[in-house]
Amino acid sequence: MSNLLVLMDELRREQSLCDAVIRVQDSQFHVHKPVMCSISPFFKSLFTTWSTPDNNIFDIPDVSADSMQAFIEFAYTGAVSITKENITDLFIAADRFSVEGLAQACCDEMERSLSPQTCVYTWRITEKYYYPALRQKAFSYILRHFEEVVACTSFLQLSAAELKMIIESEFLNVKQESTAFEAVLCWINHSPQDRQVHIRDLLSKIRLAFLDFQYYINHVIGNELIRQNQQCKNYLIQSTKQMLDTHQGSLTRSSNSNYKLTCPRVPQAVLMAIGGWHIRDPTSAIEIYNSRSKRWVLMDSSDGPRAYHGTVFLNGCLYVIGGFDGIENFCTMHKYNLATQTWNEVAPMHTSRCYVSVALLDGLIYAMGGYDGLDRLETAEQYTPEFNQWTRIASMHEQRSDASAASLNGQAGGFDGVTRLNTLEVYDPEIQHWRSLPSMIESRSNFGMAVLDDELYVVGGFGGFTTTARVESFNFGTGVWSIVKDMEVSRSALSCCILHDLPNMSFYSDTQYAEDSKEN
């Protein structure tokens, strides 16, 4: 704060040389017109255009005394205390008085304070006062945290148009489409007489093809509100036929006027399976699993075949580290930019490593142990993406290869030297204890493993006689293993990682392929 403003603020507090009085409710504030004019076009017009020079008392309606006090302090000091109690009044006052600095400070605080309880209000108020950047961030928050937002009372205050905008978004983050359907019913049942008129319009925004069939029969077709609505009944007859046509492969663009019915939502994250050993040779195949559509999609890859490698996802890029192509053990690392869809070879490791263990910590990539073609390794090195440089770090105490673990601190399956295992163990660091969990459905070794949507996925591997394309997942909430759709390519010695928060995520989920099929 400049010396001049410090002096002016002292004079204001002493009510010295003030030339205007602002009256708000039962309070009045002595101010200096030049200071108020310097930050607010509203007050400049009020003091110079909308009043005579000898007018020095101004009544401002619809503003609280606390807000005006904070506003005046901001004018004199450039600082303001924004709290959850005063932020709305300050934001409205800043917009009314055209004070961009204060409005931005309020926007910044509202963005920092986004939560399931506040996001709906922020989304709505920023439409009324037109702050599109914050409105989009609040909307994105609603979509991302929808399952938590539905449990808040603010969700029930949405208008039909607002709820429709949320439900129809391809970026709505729901693990099960039934969550979206039940949210619509919850909203309608909050005021059924007023809201059931919207059920047909809202129902059309549900991706019905991704509901479990038995759930669809029992809870959608069997819902009393829907059964009583002739428009809904007609829509469900058409939708059921369309879904059957889709499964039979007879859907055409002309018949697919509402293709979103059968188009999966864009997930927040997808599972990627890279390379591996396919029957007798390494493969370059890359497949992506979308848990929303429960489908694998093969992705084009110009990177060469490799197995026994490691992968890491960092800053929008996939790093493929080390490995073996059937002839050579690699020290190389290839980087795939998921935004530009381009491969580049970056700095190689100091040591060739297949069966390598890789990890990500504090933005650095670690490669540990492995096999260089002659020996099992205890050495380790660290990669700094900023400098494209590997650095040797302290060696481990033991030689290690073929070692891995998932981010849930678990071990699954493997090979004990005699048989393939189907066991699962998880480590609790608080009590420093390993405990056994339900066994996998199939025994396997040398598989890929990753955690997606809080479920542990076990991908491919070797079953004792041949490589497998089988996939299963473990739900820690229910303690149950479930069969997941097979990959297109059977393989062992593959590597898996999770891609998340990509600006072009639709390209890496089968929503892109659904769009393509719509055009055909």
The model's pLDDT over 367-381, given as tens digits with 9 standing for 90+, comes to: 988 999 999 998 999
How many Cα neighbours within 13 Å face the side chain of 509? 25
Answer whether residue 501 shows pLDDT above 60.
yes
| Interacting residues of 59 by C-beta distance below 8 A, sequence separation 6+ | 23, 24
Residue 159 vs residue 409, higher pLDDT: 159
Pairing of strands 495-500, 269-274: antiparallel
SS percent in the chain: helix, strand, coil, step 5: 35, 25, 40
How far is the C-alpha of 357 from the C-alpha of 18, rounded, in Å?
Answer: 72
pLDDT of residue 53: 83
Overall average pLDDT of the 28-50 stretch = 93
> Which has the closest alpha carbon to 155: 205, 185, 117?
117
What pLDDT digit, counting tens, does each position of 160-190 carry?
999 999 999 999 999 999 999 999 999 999 9
Domain 168-262, architecture per CATH: Alpha Horseshoe (1.25)
Percentage with pLDDT > 70 across the chain = 89
Give the per-residue pLDDT at 518. Answer: 43
DSSP state of 120: H
Identify the CATH assignment for 269-308+404-505 out of 2.60.40.420, 2.120.10.80, 2.40.160.10, 1.10.3080.10.
2.120.10.80
CA distance 235 to 239: 6
Residue with tokens 């205890």: 378
Domain with CATH 3.30.710.10 in the chain: 3-113
Residue type, 101: G
What is the token pair recorded at 99?
């004070």
How does 96-105 read in b/e, with b if 16+ C-beta sit within 10 Å? bbebeebbeb
pLDDT per position as a tens digit, 179-226: 999 999 999 999 999 999 999 999 999 999 888 889 999 999 999 999
**Tens of pLDDT, residues 123-163:** 999 999 999 999 999 999 999 999 999 999 999 999 999 99
Output the pLDDT for position 173: 95
pLDDT at 102: 92
> Can you tell me the distance from the alpha carbon of 29 to that of 33, in angstroms, rounded to the nearest whole number?
12
* Rounded CA separation 358/364 (Å): 11
Helices 100-112 and 132-144 cross at an angle (nearest 10°) of 10
pLDDT at 357: 87
88-110 pLDDT, tens digit each: 999 999 999 999 999 999 999 99
pLDDT score at 403: 58
| Vertex 291: Cα angle to 214 and 203 (nearest 5) | 50
pLDDT of residue 301: 75
Task: Judge whether 470 and 486 are in contact, CB under 8 Å.
Answer: yes
For 451-476, the pLDDT digits (tens) are 999 899 999 999 888 999 999 999 98
- d(Cα 496, Cα 356) in Å, to the nearest integer? 13
pTM comes to 0.82
* Residue carrying the six token digits 């999966």: 264
Q: Which of 295, 320, 300, 297 has the alpha carbon at shortest distance from 310?
A: 320
Residue 418: what pLDDT? 44
Which segments of the chain belong to CATH 2.120.10.80? 269-308+404-505
CB 365 within 8 A of CB 313: no
Q: Is 15 exposed, middle or buried (0-12, 13-18, 19+ CB in 10 A)?
A: exposed
Contact, 160 vs 201, CB < 8 A?
Answer: yes
Which residue ranges does the chain devote to CATH 1.25.40?
168-262
Distance CA 232, CA 2 (A): 66
CATH class of residue range 3-113: alpha beta
Rounded mean pLDDT, 425-449? 80
